[in-house]
Amino acid sequence: MELQVAKQAVRTASKLAHTVAQHHISSISKSDQSPVTVADFGAQAVIISALKQAFPGDPVVGEEDAAALRADDTLANKVWALVKEAAPHDKNLSERTNLFAAIDAGNYAGSAKGRQWALDPIDGTKGFLRGGQYAVCLALIVDSRVELGVIGCPNLGPRGGLFSAVRGKGAFWEPLFEESTPEKISFRHIESTKDATFCESVESGHSALDTQLKIAQSLGISNPPVQMDSQAKYCSLAKGDADIYLRLPVRMDYEEKIWDHAAGNILITEAGGVVTDMNGNLLDFGKGRTLKDNKGVIAAAKSIHSDVLKAVQKALL
Ligand SMILES: Nc1ncnc2c1ncn2[C@@H]1O[C@H](COP(=O)(O)O)[C@@H](O)[C@H]1OP(=O)(O)O
Ligand SMILES: [Mg+2]
């Protein structure tokens, strides 16, 4: 039940985002940031509305709130038009005033106990604007642990990808814009760590790319890293296109947000991988809206994760 609702909601939001992105890429004002803002609010509204109808009691930790929309009627009208097109029969979104309430329902502070959804309506805003990777990410967390994750990646592969995982049930891929039987996915087998390929952020402000290059060299890796925005990195590992995702902090005071990692976390573990922080601890999704007890992220296949962790710790000594 949860999986079907989450997949349908992510699919609807991904289509909405894709429509805006296509229009943005073909437009002449590519420096305009507003398309991603419009898509972000629209995606959050349709997903939270779907969740609130299926699971009325469940709180949602969503990235956005509606303050900027309430203050800007032109922006609100654009988002509203998009939402009406994407979800015309949603009775929770029958009037424009409901739009604000749906978005603001993502204001949960987070908790260590009980159920909560974590939502990043558009992860990878930079990728969205440059026509690269971005992702719509939704996860169900129960008692601080991720139980279910769904990620929509409109630009990953020729048909886009809808990635999903439920604890104990494996990780799956299906095309994003057509109905088709999900295919099971997993990490690829590599003989040795030196054969691995890194996947990492494009943005040097999000991840210590120089240090990561040194770590790759210390592991004997000569394959060039694959760089992309958003949680599409987790999806790439889970479907066997790359082997190691490192996200080492650039600033030690930055706290990663739970919506930036929850869905990817279960996708990795269900595809045969391990995710820890740079101290080797599992990510704790029960500390509020951020991963405040964790620094950095290391995701890799089970067989090589401990080698990578050792190399990270040696580099950071
Ligand atoms: N200093 C930072 N360190 C790590 N991640 C960051 C930092 N600043 C922003 N982010 C987040 O990185 C995510 C995108 O990462 P990636 O490089 O993997 O695409 C965004 O969700 C963004 O959050 P925000 O949207 O709040 O700016
Ligand atoms: Mg994000």
Q: Map out the domains of the chain as residue ranges.
A: 2-185, 193-316
Indicate the top mutation candidate among 153, 260, 278, 294 to test ligand 1's pocket, ranked by most ligand atoms within 8 A of CB. 260
Ligand 1, closest atom to CA 231?
18
- Domain 2-185: CATH architecture, name and number where available: 2-Layer Sandwich (3.30)
Asked if 6 and 55 touch (Cβ cutoff 8 Å), the reply is no
Task: Return all residues near 189 (Cβ < 8 A) that are at least 6 apart.
Answer: none
Q: What order of strands is seen across the sheet that includes strand 170-174? A: 60-62, 115-123, 135-142, 145-153, 161-166, 170-174, 183-185
Q: What residue type is 64 in one-letter code?
A: E
Query: Is this structure's pTM higher than 0.95?
Result: yes
Ligand 1, closest atom to CA 125?
25
Distance 53 CA to ligand 1 centre (A): 30
Distance 206 CA to ligand 1 centre (A): 5
Query: What is the dotted CATH code of the domain comprising 193-316?
Result: 3.40.190.80
**ipTM (interface predicted TM):** 0.98
Answer yes or no: 290 catalytic. no
Please, which residues bridge with residue 62 across strands?
119
> What is d(CA 159, CA 182) in angstroms, rounded to the nearest whole number?
13
**Ligand 1 contact, 123 CB (< 6 A):** yes
CA distances from 116 to 105, 111, 177, 210, 257 (A): 12, 8, 27, 36, 14
Answer yes or no: 72 catalytic. no
Report the sign of the C-alpha dihedral through residues 226, 182, 61, 125, in that order.
positive
- Reading the chain (317 residues) residue by residue, the pLDDT tens digits are 999 999 999 999 999 999 999 988 877 666 677 889 999 999 999 999 999 999 999 999 999 999 999 999 999 999 999 999 999 999 999 999 999 999 999 999 999 999 999 999 999 999 999 999 999 999 999 999 999 999 999 999 999 999 999 999 999 999 999 989 999 999 999 999 999 999 999 999 999 999 999 999 999 999 999 999 999 999 999 999 999 999 999 999 999 999 999 999 999 999 999 999 999 999 999 999 999 999 999 999 999 999 999 999 999 97
Tokens representing 135 are: 């992702």
**Ligand 1 contact, 229 CB (< 6 A):** yes
Residue tagged active-site, from 40, 104, 229, 277: 40
